[in-house]
Structure 1
Amino acid sequence: MPLGRIAFDPRRAERELATFKDWLAAHVSFKERAVLAEIRARPHMACLLAYGFVPTPNLIQFEFGVKGLFRADLAIGNNGARSFVLIEFEGGEATSLFSGGTRHYRHWSRQIEHGFGQVVDWGWAKHDHPHDTAFTNAFGGKVVDDSYIVICGRDPAPGSIEERRFDFRRSRLALNGVTVRFFTYDGMVRAMSDNLDSIRW
């Protein structure tokens, strides 16, 4: 389904973010379906994720299909700039970032690797046939610039090796020159708050 229009309202985004913070504080652990329903109910808050990647968002679509093969949980864009962000949400459970391994060194979880796998497929879809009609029709035209975000898990323990590993992963990755960002849900809320402050009316 192509992206729909949204008239972004920062005041509404602020209200939606406040209620989402309350929800997050009340839910230490949650599955992807539960948190996605909460975000879906707050589209103006969701637009805050795109700040820093695109100009003021005016396009949005949940369950966004890419070439009929792949799906992004959320796509946000700016029509004039033809700039887009594709976002994948995973769970916020204790094993969403790391699972298995040893007490001292746990493995990256299936959830976060699945999220990154989605990003690789989105990048491939663009690289393989960037002017393919099915691809450009979904975006409503050409794609000049795109970025990818994966949101997964809760913050690791401060000072832990897992925090340092996640910090490296979230700040250092790119795919074929395209920015890839990773956030925990706690980090997502902090980023949204910072973005809201930067556009304070």
Structure 2
Amino acid sequence: MSRYRPNLAVRVEPDEAEDLRYDDEETAAENNEEEESRGVDCPGDHVGVPSRPYLMKILQKQGDTNLVFADKVLRFTSSGKMKRRILLITDFAIYIVDPETDVLKRRIALAAVEKLCLSKLSDNFFAIIIPTEYDILMASTRKTEIVMCIADTTRSVSNYELDVFHSNRFEYNATAELVKQIKFEEVEGGVKTRIVQNNTQRKE
């Protein structure tokens, strides 16, 4: 798998009116602040899950105790807005948690993931494709680590080789009925990213 460098100048141009930008410097600063609270038993824990009772409660309620990754990410909604979330990955499932309300927003079994999509450029975006549900588009300065973590964990627990699709243009289902396309273009000083609605639906 190709290695990616964190990009410090990613410009997002969604099809909605808002001009949304991913603030890498701010996120990087937050990540640095969280390094000291990283879970001792999990090198991939970048938020200190054991010190956050609400996160531990979410995992324990699901009977899911083998954490392999945790970090703050940005998740794109179906309307194109960005929401701050905490991404948890265990050897069984992916969790999306709202850090403001301490609420579990979504849980996806690793077995339900068909593939991971990301560009060939040094941006921070990646999509998790789930055919039986709707997909997830997120951004993180630790994109490579997340993709490798999901792929490696899936391989180790099920011997299934997850497809990692590299392209500067790919589709994802923002909802069960809404298909969007994300396009990446290398420009001076960074990567320009545009999210547009696709008129075609995902083929079953």
TM-score for the superposition, normalised by structure 2 = 0.27
TM-score for the superposition, normalised by structure 1 = 0.27
